[in-house]
Amino acid sequence: MTNLNKYNMSKESKLNSWFLASRPKTLLAAVVPVMVGSALAISMKKFFLPYSIVALLCSILIQIGTNFTNDLYDFLKGSDTVKRKGPRRVLASGLISAKEMKVAIILVFGTTFLLGLYLVYSAGLIILWIGILSIFAGIIYTAGPFPLAYNGLGDVFVFIFFGIVGTMGTFYLHTQEISLLALLVSIPVGALITNILVVNNYRDIEEDRSK
């Protein structure tokens, strides 16, 4: 095997590792709130496609950044090991180093912030605060002195940010309005996405008890 072939295989393996770290099966949770908020805006004839495209990119990037942060800090805390159930975790498996993951987290959240500036310019400072709080929540989900996931608040924040904030924030982008209807349609979105987290937690309950 030539050095070039070895390099290409190594590069492909690294890309696959990053794809695995993004947890692609979870990314629909970032898509649904934007879709529902956009659909409500369409029903009111106040829809502008570029807003939804950028909002969708930001939502997916926040989800990926949150997944990266979760992978890193679960590994550092010893919560993830090679014996865990469910999908492999790239740090616990040695596929990606902690240093690489820290750089990736900065790049992903930094890109999210830069993209979001377009939405801030278009819809005002409310969107800036939504973006900052969403990124902050993604980081403190497992990082910091009081990680949400380790203190029984993970489900609450998933419901708030993936349900209410994601759906109503998208609707606000298009309409610059906060409505009761947008709040009502955000509740089942948040409940559905929180249920994904509940299922994952149920799967990991025995392993978590052993730590």
C-alpha to C-alpha distance for 200 and 202, rounded to whole angstroms:
5
Report pLDDT for 69: 95
* Rounded (10°) CA dihedral 78, 151, 194, 175: -120
Query: Mind listing the pLDDT tens digit for each residue in 140-191?
Result: 998 988 888 888 888 999 999 999 999 999 999 999 998 999 999 999 999 9
Q: Give yes or no for a contact between 100 and 14, defined as CB atoms under 8 angstroms apart.
A: no
C-alpha to C-alpha distance for 151 and 70, rounded to whole angstroms:
14
The burial class, CB within 10 Å (0-12 / 13-18 / 19+), for 200 is middle
C-alpha to C-alpha distance for 170 and 119, rounded to whole angstroms:
10
Task: Please spell the DSSP secondary structure of 32-54, one letter per residue.
Answer: HHHHHHHHHHHHTT---HHHHHH
Q: Give yes or no for a contact between 158 and 193, defined as CB atoms under 8 angstroms apart.
A: yes
Query: Mind listing the pLDDT tens digit for each residue in 20-64?
Result: 999 998 899 999 999 999 999 999 999 999 999 999 999 999 999
Sorted by where each begins, the domain ranges of the chain are 29-209
C-alpha to C-alpha distance for 100 and 14, rounded to whole angstroms:
11
Q: Does the model's pTM come out above 0.95?
A: no
C-alpha to C-alpha distance for 147 and 169, rounded to whole angstroms:
24
